[in-house]
Amino acid sequence: MTENKEPILKVEDIHISFGGLKALNGVSLAVHPGQIFAIIGPNGAGKTTMLNVINGVYTPDEGRITFEGQERPLKMKPHHVAALGISRTFQNLALFRGMDTWSNIMVGRTQKMHSNFFSQGIYWGMSQKEEIKHREAVEWIIDFLEIENIRKQPVGMLPYGLQKRVELGRALAAEPKLLLLDEPMAGMNLEEKEDIARFILDANEELGYTIALIEHDMGVVMDISDNIAVLDFGNKIADGTPEEIKANQKVIKAYLGEAEESG
């Protein structure tokens, strides 16, 4: 339904190398609004590098990045990228471990807050209204992710699967135009994976978020993605719908080492 629209994010011909290692070698991607877009590939294929390029952690050597039709400078601070409307989660969790779930998610609202330190301190007029609005948004996300029971618990004490969920909540709190998820299901058991997959689908279908994610678990990716790009050694070797990817010989080779004929 969204295929004929302009892509929300277009990266073209991205090159980046660390020392002698070419991490990305002329990779282009296009994410369309309303999509769940997955980037897959074996270890060291350049998946996380790609996310880091998109949200400004790395500056690519060459290429073009266009977000919502506007080309952005290649060198850009992550928080400026966040202000454009791109938020992300991390593979190895980056939460404030000593703060509770509620506060961690509230941090995600920072970009949306307008009143300054002093008016917040007085808590009157506009800033009071704003506070209520933000609290409502946070509570809405807590309800959405079904984490009411850990609202007031320090996230450092939570099991890993729940921490991942909190991190997703924080990314959602920013109400991003594009949500980047770095291995949202890594290290989870089957049940936790199914839960997260459902939240990702709900965020996409119910809340209308555009999502780009990296994932190892092929099964889940195939089930939930609209479009998939496959990276291998810094090159994009395939791009298409899950069905196309499943049938692609190059992909099979990259994952299994050797294409096998089944008898």
Phi/psi at 167 (nearest 5 deg)? -65, -40
Site string for other proteins, 79-108 (x = CB under 8 A): -----------------------x------
* DSSP classification of residue 59: -
Strand partners, 105: none
Q: Please say which residue, 28 or 153, places its beta carbon nearer to other proteins.
A: 153
Q: Please say which residue, 149 or 249, places its beta carbon nearer to other proteins.
A: 149
How many Cβ atoms sit within 10 Å of the Cβ of residue 5?
10
> Cα–Cα distance between 136 and 141 in angstroms, integer?
9
Site string for other proteins, 11-30 (x = CB under 8 A): --------------------
> Cα–Cα distance between 120 and 51 in angstroms, integer?
34
Judged by CB under 8 A, the chain residues 109 through 168 that form the site for other proteins are 135-136, 139-140, 142-144, 146, 148-149, 151-152
3-class SS of residue 124:
coil
Amino acid at 203: A
Closest CA to 176 of 228, 130, 212, 220: 212
Give me the DSSP letters along 154-211: BGGGS-HHHHHHHHHHHHHHT--SEEEEESTTTT--HHHHHHHHHHHHHHHHTS--EE
Q: Cβ 144 to other proteins, closest distance in Å?
A: 7
Q: Tell me how many residues contact other proteins (CB under 8 A).
A: 17
Contact 30, 10 (CB under 8 A): yes
Q: Please say which residue, 16 or 141, places its beta carbon nearer to other proteins.
A: 141
Q: Please say which residue, 94 or 132, places its beta carbon nearer to other proteins.
A: 132
> Cα–Cα distance between 26 and 16 in angstroms, integer?
8
Q: Cβ 123 to other proteins, closest distance in Å?
A: 18
Site string for other proteins, 189-218 (x = CB under 8 A): ---------x---x--xx------------
Q: Cβ 88 to other proteins, closest distance in Å?
A: 25
Q: Please say which residue, 131 or 139, places its beta carbon nearer to other proteins.
A: 139
Which residue's entry shows tokens 């880091």?
A: 52
Q: Cβ 215 to other proteins, closest distance in Å?
A: 22
Q: Please say which residue, 31 or 141, places its beta carbon nearer to other proteins.
A: 141
Strand partners, 191: none
Q: Please say which residue, 9 or 36, places its beta carbon nearer to other proteins.
A: 36
Residue 223 near other proteins by CB under 8 A:
no
Instruction: Point out which residues bind other proteins (CB under 8 A).
Output: 102, 135-136, 139-140, 142-144, 146, 148-149, 151-152, 198, 202, 205-206
